[in-house]
């Protein structure tokens, strides 16, 4: 007869259950944060799932871009996001940029922004997860000279370890010396490596510049890696696949950490 498993002593069981909390770690939900795609990192596509209610996420990303023709652009973007309510996420950002074209260098604050994401449908047997988002871009520093609004729709569908994401957005207002898009559409497929807490992502994006010239397209690849139960590292790269303008090559590196707001327990994103 096979031996019956022995019940753990109550004290041992209690320590195993309380250990992560006493050590200050987030609950198990944060351990799947590596599966969630942020806006622009590591690829141009984000997923439909907002932060869990009462979760607070701080992230910072660095990027390098080489536009078609000549020049180099660096950017540094800190984001602060809050799970304000169930299925509702809000946040703020204030990116810095430094660009060099010939002998002309521009460095400074590249605008400031407020954004929100609401998930109005959780993925079911028949429907994907669906979300609506809105960004408000403020005319600060080297950014737009006018206020701009961006409205976006996001869908995410799971297929085992793979997921597909479809994004589309349209910009209203705004006036800038820097080439930006009036609208964009993108699709991505990711694959999770559960044992290694790693996500691999492939993406394709098309966009229409604000000046109405030819549509541009780029392909991207990214990795998200869970470093700790609350910390994720991301790395991405993209390359232009159409003739004309746009970034010949772009790359990004970022890190994010999830914590709890003072009035509630810590939390993470829920896929």
pLDDT tens, position by position, 87-126: 999 999 999 999 877 677 888 888 899 999 999 999 998 9
Q: Answer whether residue 78 shows pLDDT above 70.
A: yes
Q: Which of 31-45, 97-111, 216-230 has the highest mean pLDDT?
A: 216-230
Contacts of 105 (CB under 8 A, 6+ apart): 98, 99
Ordered by start, the domain boundaries in the chain are 31-260
State the pLDDT confidence band at 75, using cuts at 50, 70 and 90.
Answer: very high
Calculate the CA 57 to chain-centre distance.
Answer: 11
Measured distance CA(121)–CA(98) in Å, rounded: 39
Q: Is the pLDDT of residue 178 over 70?
A: no
User: What is the predicted pLDDT for the residue at 117?
Assistant: 97
Token pair for residue 231?
């910390």
Q: Which residues contact 178 (CB under 8 A, 6 or more apart)?
A: 142
Fold designation for 31-260 = Lipocalin (2.40.128)
């Amino acid at each position: 007869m096979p031996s019956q498993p022995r019940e753990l002593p109550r004290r041992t069981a209690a320590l195993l259950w309380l250990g992560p909390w006493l050590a200050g770690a987030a609950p198990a939900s944060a351990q799947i944060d590596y599966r969630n795609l942020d806006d622009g990192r590591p690829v141009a596509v984000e997923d439909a799932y907002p932060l869990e209610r009462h979760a607070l996420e701080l992230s910072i990303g660095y990027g390098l871009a080489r536009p078609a023709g000549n020049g180099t652009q660096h950017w540094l973007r800190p984001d602060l996001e809050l799970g304000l309510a169930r299925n509702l996420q809000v946040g703020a950002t204030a990116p810095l940029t430094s660009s060099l074209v010939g002998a002309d260098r521009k460095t400074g604050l590249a605008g400031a922004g407020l954004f929100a994401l609401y998930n109005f449908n959780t993925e079911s047997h028949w429907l994907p997860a669906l979300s609506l988002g809105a960004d408000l871009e403020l005319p600060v520093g080297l950014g737009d000279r006018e206020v701009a609004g961006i409205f976006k729709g996001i869908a995410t569908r799971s297929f085992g370890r793979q997921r597909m994401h479809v994004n589309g957005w349209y910009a209203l207002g705004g006036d800038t010396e820097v080439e930006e898009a009036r609208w964009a559409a993108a699709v991505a497929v990711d694959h999770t490596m559960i044992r290694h807490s790693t996500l691999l992502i492939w993406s394709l994006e098309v966009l229409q510049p604000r000046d109405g010239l030819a549509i541009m397209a780029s392909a991207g690849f990214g990795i998200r890696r869970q470093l700790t139960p609350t910390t994720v590292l991301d790395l991405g790269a993209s390359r232009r696949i159409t003739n004309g303008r746009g970034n010949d090559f772009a790359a990004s590196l970022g890190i994010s950490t999830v914590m709890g707001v003072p009035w509630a327990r810590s939390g993470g994103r829920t896929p």
